[in-house]
Structure formats: structure tokens, C-alpha cells
Amino acid sequence: MSNTRRSITLLDRFRAPVACATLLAAALGVGAAAVGAQEQIYDPTKIPSLEGTWDGTPRARPVNSETVPWGKDNFPVLNERAKAYQKVFDEALSPKYDCQPSAPPAIEYDPYSMQVLQWPDRVVFRYEKDDQIRTIWLDGRKPTIYDWGLQGFSVGHYEGDALLVETDHFVFDITGFDDYNGIPSSQLKKVRERYWREGQELKVTVTVEDPMFLKQPASYTTRWLPQRPGYKLSAWDCDPEASRAPVKMMPQKYKD
């Protein structure tokens, strides 16, 4: 999708709520100044345009591994609890073999495409990997006791040319840090993301803190490139039996 077409699409989405607010205000006798204030808040020309389908495959960046994106210069500083989990971790028990999806800070780096949708009250990330959808709330809402989950609860706001996101309310995840290093994450995990455009690239800096397992916050920066015009995200459709198949050929760390 071209930048021009993307801007028109985004503008149409923002116009609809403002038009409805104008009609409602007229019916209730609300002054034009109040409507004008709402229109100012949701003016898409004053926020960064992040919409589109973005390519996170090796065309855009190296494939994730034990040392990517966490290398010698930014590898997390683990406490003794995290090191103990690493020591006893058994790859055969990794939840990904039971179709459990990746979560921040790993899902942002998985080598697949992602679609970004910007609405007046939220930003939606649709990940090709694991068929995951994350909603970033922009309307100031607070999490409830029902909002704990693998992807946590995300709120955000625009600041200059960037979208800033904060996510918490994660559940314990034995591989919640990444898919390769056997580092878990706890209910105390918090993830901060900053998204911005550099020319045709979409970039993000992801920072994770988790005092249950990390001595200090850890972060990485990566990018996506625009996907080809007309590209549609592929369905993941994880099959549990096929997903567990590699475990049968995996050397077992524990026999009994």
C-alpha cells in the first residue's frame, strides 16, 4: 500500500468518529468548541503514520537465535533465580511445542510479517507468527483482574514522531524472555516499546524489565521493511501433533 493510500485510509478512520461526535453534539446542544477539541485530539495529520503490512523476515534483519537479538553487548544480566531456571530448563518441555504463542519481548523479533492498524482509541498489531493480535489502548483505560495473559495488557500514547507502548499484566512464562536461552519471565515483567519511522522503515526499541529474573532492564532495536503491495498475512494454524513431532527426535535432558 502506498504512503498516499495509507494516509487516506487512516484519515477516513479518524473522520468517522469525529463526524458522529458532531451529530451527537448538535442533538444534545453541546458547543462546537467541545467537538473541535475532540477533532484536535484525533487529528491523524498530527500523529506518526505507522499503518501498513511490515516485513520482519531475513530481508529486513538477521534471524533470531541464541545470540540475536540478544548479543554480547546487550545480553540480559540474570540473577541467581534466572540462572537456576536456565540450568534445569528442558527444551522438550518448551510450551512452543504445544502451540503456545510467543510473547513480548520475543514476538516483536520473530521473522515474520506484521500488520499495524491505527484507530482513534487504539493501535492494533496483527502478527503473522502464532496468529497473535495485540491491542494498544490509547484512551487511558486501566487493566482489570481479567486482563492478565501471555501478551499482557498494553497502553500507549503518541509522543512527537513515535508511538510509546507500556505492557504489564503478564502471566508466568517458562520461556517468556525468548525462544532460545531458557530464560523465564514473571508476573512482574514490564515491556516498553518505542515505534517510529525512518524513511520507509518501521523501527522499534524494545526494553524489558523483570526484577524476578533480571538484575537490570535489557533492550534491543530492530526494524521492519514494507511488505510487497497486496501482501496478506498467512494463517498460522498451529497443529498440536505436528508441533510436538520434533520433541520425539530431541535428545532428552532428563530420562525419567
pLDDT for res 31: 43
How many percent of the chain have pLDDT more than 90?
77
Q: State how far the alpha carbon of 8 is from the alpha carbons of 16, 22, 117, 253, in Å.
A: 13, 21, 13, 55
**Which residues on neighbouring strands pair with residue 43, listed in sequence order?**
none
Tell me, yes or no, whether 17 and 102 share the same domain: no
Q: State how far the alpha carbon of 3 is from the alpha carbons of 6, 49, 51, 199, 202, in Å.
A: 5, 9, 9, 11, 13
In a domain, 255, yes or no: no
In a domain, 234, yes or no: no
Question: In the chain, what is the greatest distance between 2 CA atoms, to the nearest angstrom?
Answer: 74
Tell me, yes or no, whether 116 and 212 share the same domain: yes
Rg of the chain, C-alpha, whole Å: 21
**Is pTM beyond 0.85 here?**
no
Tell me, yes or no, whether 29 and 92 share the same domain: no
In a domain, 61, yes or no: yes
Q: Which of 68, 103, 99 is nearest to 247 (CA)?
A: 99
Q: Contact, 184 vs 172, CB < 8 A?
A: yes
C-alpha span between 105 and 159 (Å, rounded): 21
Q: State how far the alpha carbon of 73 is from the alpha carbons of 26, 63, 194, 212, 218, in Å.
A: 58, 17, 20, 22, 10
Tell me, yes or no, whether 41 and 101 share the same domain: no
Ranges of residues in the chain whose predicted pLDDT is under 50: 2-11, 14-40
Tell me, yes or no, whether 135 and 216 share the same domain: yes
Range of the domain at 73: 52-229+239-248
SS3 114: strand
C-alpha span between 227 and 70 (Å, rounded): 25
Find all residues with CB under 8 Å of 69, minimum gap 6, and list them: 109, 220, 222
Q: Contact, 209 vs 217, CB < 8 A?
A: yes
Find all residues with CB under 8 Å of 113, minimum gap 6, and list them: 53, 54, 55, 56, 57, 128, 224, 227, 231, 233
In a domain, 215, yes or no: yes
Tell me, yes or no, whether 101 and 58 share the same domain: yes
pLDDT for res 13: 52
The structural domain count of the chain equals 2
Tell me, yes or no, whether 57 and 26 share the same domain: no
SS3 219: strand
Find all residues with CB under 8 Å of 99, minimum gap 6, and list them: 130, 238, 239, 240, 243
Each residue's pLDDT tens digit, 70-117: 999 999 999 999 999 999 999 888 999 999 999 999 999 999 999 999
pLDDT for res 5: 46
Tell me, yes or no, whether 173 and 143 share the same domain: yes
Tell me, yes or no, whether 25 and 142 share the same domain: no
In a domain, 108, yes or no: yes
In a domain, 254, yes or no: no
Q: Contact, 214 vs 194, CB < 8 A?
A: no
pLDDT for res 256: 67
Tell me, yes or no, whether 111 and 174 share the same domain: yes
Tell me, yes or no, whether 184 and 166 share the same domain: yes
∠ CA 234-147-38, nearest 5°, is 85
Tell me, yes or no, whether 68 and 136 share the same domain: yes
C-alpha span between 69 and 196 (Å, rounded): 19
